[in-house]
Structure 1
Amino acid sequence: MGLSGKDIEQAKSRIEGFINQTPVLTSTLLNQWLGHDIFFKMENFQKIGAFKARGACNTLAWLQETGQQPKSVVANSSGNHAQAVAYAAGKFGLPATIFMPDYSSKVKIQATRSYGAEVVLSETRDITDEKVREAAKEKDTYWIPPYNHEQVICGQGTAAWEALNEVENVNAVFAPCGGGGLLSGTLIAARGLSSKTQVIGVEPLNANDAAESLRKGAIQRLSGVPDTLADGAMTMAVGNITFEYLQKLDGFFEVEEEYLIYWTQWLSHLLKSRIEPTSAMAMEGVRRWLREQNGRQRVLVIVSGGNVDQPTTKKLWEKDWLSLLPKL
């Protein structure tokens, strides 16, 4: 692997002052029910409500550090990365234009605008991606991609780096997978701090391009916009950089929508916090993994964000899943 724990550590130093060092929470009830110790790195308490602020801030800080600071930035995203780049650009005094598909969360579109960025909407993700490629050709303009960039990956890895320095003897770390930036950074951080800690990814079954890519040994692209409530994992394909790291994972799970909804409700209740479906689905991977383990395990879950709009909230709470207690 090209990146190392040292790169994550350097990223952590760069972004101090721009981001929150988020808390690690546990639920006594959940631990009793499952018979294991589960720790949650709460990136829903991060700037812009998601881990993405880490990667965006690190990339701009790195550009400044290396004498490459542009005059403007562009990005393409269906959600949290859009807000993150808008936020980071504001901190560095740079104008930002964000290209988003029009099916993106209305809350995330409005939030991106509120951070001062210009938002350009398109009918499809493919059109969005083509527009950002054209915009990036403008002089002194830098494109910050949502995941397929080494400094973005390093920034995202600082979440796991912080948590693993706080929680000892972690057997496994779980993180959701969209484009693979958070999961790649988590893998690099874990390998740099604890060679015995497994790193495991989780993805919606309805948007399982990463799982298909891992099975076939080559990047697979979704044929259309996936039907999943995990809007943070609706990426059409992983990147060539992130795929190299995903192939080194210790495990990978695909989660059906009903389990994604189940854990969104339960984690919101147990942690008394707003949890995105993309974050919550990782817990179903934890449950399935724990069934195959011997002895009490210590597991870290990266709660990637907490930005949920009203239509998604309504769908998430149509059925009451809290009457079914969590169990292995």
Structure 2
Amino acid sequence: MPSVTFSDIQSAEKRIKPFINPTPVLHSSLLNSWLGHEIVFKAECLQKTGAFKIRGALNMMLKARENGTLGSEVVASSSGNHAQAVAYAANVMGVKATIYSAQNISKVKAAATEYYGAELKLSATRKEADQRVQQAAQQDGVLWVPPFNHDDIIAGQGTAVYEALQQTNQVDAVLAPVGGGGLISGSLICSKALDTNTQVIGAEPLLANDAAESVRLGAIQTLPMQPSTLADGAATLAVGETTFPFLQQLDDIIEVDESAIAYWCQWLQHLLKIHVEPTSAMSMAAVIRWLKKQPTQKKVLVILSGGNIDQQKMHQIWQYNHLQERPSLLL
């Protein structure tokens, strides 16, 4: 029996509903006309803290409070969006939060984490930050809130797709980014429960393709060092033991190169008029690859996972003007 079920996601939705934004589903008529398919976007970039991560953090912490295991402090290690989510949730629930992160954390995400009241402790590498949070979690009264490798986190993240499918009804495919696997695992559970024919596909940076490699080899693979990808939200060193079995059930994981990530970051910002992180935009490159293989018109749901971008990342994204080449399935 799977560790997380659709009923867990339904329970999570009720639990976190008073604390989150019901984010909109957007579309671009122009993009749909260019591609000849219907693409709808779940705009989690408009969520509180600017990303879907608040769903999992709140679900785990609220459930812990229900069970009397929340304690007086929460700790987490994160490259940014999860850090903000845990900091925000801790602030709402009146507990202390300490976040461990690598020094290359996005400046805008670091500032927001501290603004929400958390203490931010930086390490030279993500691996070192992960080790420090494990040590901190050994103390009495401290709850470790992992970014993806926990049943309650997966259930919380799955509420994004659950909410989206209630807004847009049946779709042929759901695409979302793959970092540690929490969002795509929750997306899989929810989508398949509502319609077994729905394809669920992950998008992963080619430079950080540990999930795709893990599925290919049948065992969790760990990247040797922090990957240098625009999609920093998907730059985890390895997927989790809890998420991996769900990743193995995906219809596909599509690996995306850096140029395509920048291309779709520019185009989605232009077409949808919202801030979209490179990690979010990456999924559209996977959509194009998938649609090229489809013989009939499809309706696709894309989870725009976040919208927190600092000046340095924005500069990298816009080094080349990709808007000169409009989206097409013929490219």
- Normalised by the shorter chain, which TM-score bucket? over 0.9
Take 2:121 and 2:69, find their aligned partners in 1: how far apart are those partners?
25
Deviates more, 1:286-295 or 1:63-72: 63-72
Paired position in structure 2 for 1:321: 322
Contact 1:8 1:157 in 2 (8 A): yes
Matched with 1:27 is 28
Letter in 2 for 1:88: A
Quick one: which amino acid aligns to residue 123 of structure 2?
Answer: S
Note if 1:18 corresponds to 2:19: yes
What are the Cα deviations for residues 185-209 of structure 1, in whole angstroms up to 9, with x where unaligned? 1111112211111100000000001
What residue is the counterpart of 1:203 in the other structure? 204
Q: Give the Cα–Cα distance (whole angstroms) in 2 for the partners of residues 216 and 195 of structure 1.
A: 25
Give, in whole Å, the separation in 1 of the partners of 2:307 and 2:44.
8
Shift of 1:2: 2.6
Count, aligned residues: 328
8 Å CA contact retained: 1:5, 1:191: no
Contact 2:3–2:151, Cα closer than 8 Å, also in 1: no
- Give the C-alpha shift of residue 45 in structure 1: 0.2
Tell me how far 1:68 sits from its aligned partner.
Answer: 1.8
Alpha-carbon separation, structure 2, partners of 1:166 and 1:196? 19
Q: Which runs of 4+ in 1 moved over 3 A?
A: none
Aligned pairs for 1:1-328 (under 5 A) are 1-328=2-329
Q: C-alpha separation between the residues in 1 aligned to 2:292 and 2:227?
A: 29
Per the TM alignment, residue 257 of structure 1 is displaced from its structure 2 partner at its CA by 0.2
Give me the TM-score of the superposition, normalised by structure 1. 0.99
The one-letter amino acid of 1:99's match is: Y
Task: Measure, in 2, the Cα distance between the counterparts of 1:52 and 1:122.
Answer: 22
Question: What CA distance in whole angstroms lies between the structure 2 residues aligned with 1:18 and 1:165?
Answer: 19
1:273 partner amino acid = I
CA distance in structure 2 between the aligned counterparts of 1:130 and 1:251, rounded to whole angstroms: 31
Matches of 1:66 and 1:21, distance apart in 2: 26
Deviations 1:104-146 (A, max 9, x none): 1011111100000000000011110110011001101000000
Question: Contact conserved, 1:264 with 1:280, CA < 8 A, in 2?
Answer: yes
Q: Verify the 8 A CA contact 1:6 1:192 in the aligned structure 2.
A: no
Q: CA RMSD in A?
A: 0.7
Distance of 1:168 and 1:77 partners within structure 2: 33
Q: Which amino acid aligns with 1:162?
A: E
Q: Contact 2:70/2:142 (CA < 8 Å) preserved in 1?
A: no
Letter in 2 for 1:196: N
Q: What's the TM-score, normalizing by structure 2? A: 0.98
Alpha-carbon distance in 2 for matches of 1:295, 1:244:
31
CA distance in 1, matches of 2:248, 2:276: 28
CA distance in 1, matches of 2:175, 2:17: 24
Q: Aligned equivalents of 1:174 and 1:105: distance in 2?
A: 25
1:296: how far off? 0.7
Displacement of 1:169 in angstroms is 2.3
Helix, strand or coil: the match of 2:301?
A: strand
State how far apart, in whole Å, the 2-side matches of 1:159 and 1:210 are: 21
- In structure 2, how many angstroms separate the alpha carbons of the residues matched to 1:10 and 1:191? 17
| Structure 1 residue matching 2:227: 3-state secondary structure | coil
Residue pair 1:26, 1:40 contacting (<8 A) in 2 also: yes
In structure 2, what residue type is equivalent to 1:149?
A: H
Once the two structures are superposed, residues 188-245 of structure 1 have per-residue CA deviations (whole angstroms, 9 ceiling, x without a partner) of: 1112211111100000000001011011000000011101011101100000000010
CA distances 1:23-74 after superposition (whole Å, capped 9, x unpaired): 0000000000000000000000001000000000111111112222211100
Contact 1:77 1:100 in 2 (8 A): yes
Sequence identity percentage: 55
Contact 1:82–1:112 at 8 Å: present in 2 too? yes
In structure 1, the residue corresponding to 2:238 is in which secondary structure?
A: coil
Contiguous gaps of at least 5 residues in structure 1: none
- For the residues of structure 2 that align with 1:65 and 1:188, how far apart are their CA atoms? 24
Q: Is the 1:204–1:256 contact (alpha carbons within 8 Å) kept by the matching residues of 2?
A: yes
